[in-house]
Amino acid sequence: MAALNIRKGASSHSAYDLRDPNGEIIESHTLAVIVDNESGVLARVIGLFSGRGYNIDSLTVAEVDHTGHRSRITVVTRGTPQVIEQIKAQLTRLVPVYEVHDLTVEGPSVQRELALLKVAGKGEARIEALRLAEIFRANVVDSTLESFIFEMTGTPEKIDAFAELMRPLGLIEVARTGVAALSRGV
């Protein structure tokens, strides 16, 4: 009798499909990391990501406790659930890290980002850019005869949507702060 020539994982209906159904899911997570505010801490945290090939979508750092000399690092990263758990575990083991919170799984949170967008335009394109800015509640913070600079605060998705609408109207440059996030409630 000849052996069957079936590849492992050949079809989703195969008994040979031994793939983890959750292994392929890539999720975005927002992590809040409380650390000592001292030189080299950010480099150690970022080194953890780069040394293992993890990507950082957004990074925001600021001192949040002046008397205790503590800073908050807000990192948005993507990966499988196993990768996210590994990132959290490895962050927790770093010496200057006090707390690691996964705002994505801990419940509802508020996320905001600040962006400056420079848009060139004359005539109808200029009028359309101003009309869209009003709809998205973007403020004009600088204006010349050839361009505008809009300031916008919102979710990353809102800023992405505004930037995509501005692209055909003459989007020149975008500067973004990165995500700042807090969990809701007490």
Six token digits for residue 21: 């159904």
3-state helix, strand, coil in the chain (%, to 5): 25, 40, 35
Query: What is the end-to-end Cα distance of the chain in Å, rounded?
Result: 68
Phi, psi of 166 (to 5 degrees): -80, -20
At residue 24, the pLDDT reads 74
pTM over 0.85: no
**Would you list the DSSP string of 135-148?**
HTTPEEEEE-SSEE
At residue 186, the pLDDT reads 79
What structural domains and CATH numbers belong to the chain?
27-102 (3.30.70.260), 109-183 (3.30.70.1150)
Of all helices (H) and strands (E), which one includes residue 74? strand 70-79
Q: Spell out the residues 6+ positions from residue 45 whose beta carbon is closer than 8 angstroms to its own.
A: 33, 35, 73, 75, 91, 94, 97
10-residue mean pLDDT series, the chain (186 residues)? 56 56 80 95 93 93 94 95 94 93 94 97 92 97 95 96 96 96 90
68 three-state secondary structure? coil
